[in-house]
Amino acid sequence: MMHVNEWTRVEWEQAKNTPGLSLLYIYTPMCGTCQVASKMMLVIKELVQYPIGQGNINFLGNLAIDYEIESVPCLLITKNGKVHDKIYAFQSVPYLFEKIKSVDEE
């Protein structure tokens, strides 16, 4: 089965600071909504060419504080080292895809 790579904070910072887009999907294992969001992220992974990783918020140190993450699931869309969008409501795959594309086209 396909999966989104688990990233450490260091791995995410490296991806974030490369030119272009990178995506970090943040979750917790016990969150039911996250399980649905995880399935959506598998589809997104097939649709986009950007670096994409996921991380359990419990193992990402102060990431939640540093980036003011209010809840999980959360998708951080970064471009050229800067967080451009934080998505909490994973409405649908097309919705996520459009949000990612709109940041890419900015």
- Structure confidence at residue 3 (pLDDT): 75
- Structure confidence at residue 61 (pLDDT): 80
- Structure confidence at residue 41 (pLDDT): 95
Low-confidence ranges of the chain (pLDDT < 70): 1-2
- Fold classification of 5-101 (topology level): Glutaredoxin (3.40.30)
Strand, coil or helix: what is 37? helix
- Structure confidence at residue 1 (pLDDT): 47
Distance CA 34, CA 47 (A): 20
- Structure confidence at residue 78 (pLDDT): 95
- Structure confidence at residue 2 (pLDDT): 59
Residues 6+ apart with CB under 8 A from 67: 76, 83, 86
DSSP 54: E
